[in-house]
Amino acid sequence: MKALMQELEVHSYGKYLRNRRVFFDRGEKTKLRVMRKYSYTLAFENSISPDYVTEKFYQPLMTGTVPIYLGAPNIDEFAPGKNCFVNVRDFNDPAELAGFVRQADPASFQTWRTRELNARYLRKLERIQKPWQQVLGGLLAARLSANKPVLNAGKPHHGAKQPSRPRDDAVSQS
């Protein structure tokens, strides 16, 4: 990132190499709002290992900015479409990457939104989604059969009974 900052103007809001500040920070909501202002977002993972893909890759895609990604070597499996990000690994050095970014049209990285999604991405999404659906389905069935609320989304209303704590000797069966 340091070397890239010598080649391109980079606005850094994070803890590392910060050169910009947000004065009214509301966490992720603010991060996404700020991100929308840019054509590109540096999406550098904390770890470079297979399958380690975090919100750093997906948040730029959500906001319509192009992630410049450094992280999982198999990132193509996690990309929702073709040509939706810039892979730092495709360049020999920061100067070459900077030259590409200066010349590239960020709009060309948005065409994936109107095309079929990447088949590998869909398979990966399905593998992740099915177990969660099963867990939530089981939770929903158990709650409904016990006449308990499915979600407790806040404080109880006036007069509502507080849920009792499990006894110390209670055991869960799996």
Q: Residue 65's closest CA among 87, 36, 91?
A: 36
Per-residue pLDDT, 113: 92
Per-residue pLDDT, 141: 77
Q: Indicate the SS3 state at residue 64.
A: coil
Per-residue pLDDT, 134: 75
How far is 32 from 64, CA to CA, in rounded Å? 10
Per-residue pLDDT, 151: 56
CATH code of the domain occupying 2-116? 3.40.50.11660
The amino acid at 114: T
Q: Residue 37's closest CA among 8, 7, 13?
A: 13
pLDDT tens-digit profile of 20-64? 998 888 989 999 999 999 999 999 999 999 999 999 999 999 999
Report the b/e string of 115-133 with b at 16+ CB within 10 A: eeebeebeebeeeeeeeee
Per-residue pLDDT, 126: 83
Q: Which two tokens stand for residue 136?
A: 């939530």
Strand partners, 1: none
Instruction: Locate the domains of the chain by residue range.
Output: 2-116, 118-149
The model carries a pTM of: 0.74
How far is 105 from 92, CA to CA, in rounded Å? 20
Over the chain (174 residues), the average pLDDT of each successive run of 10 is 94 90 90 95 95 95 96 95 96 97 96 91 82 75 68 50 43 38
Per-residue pLDDT, 174: 35
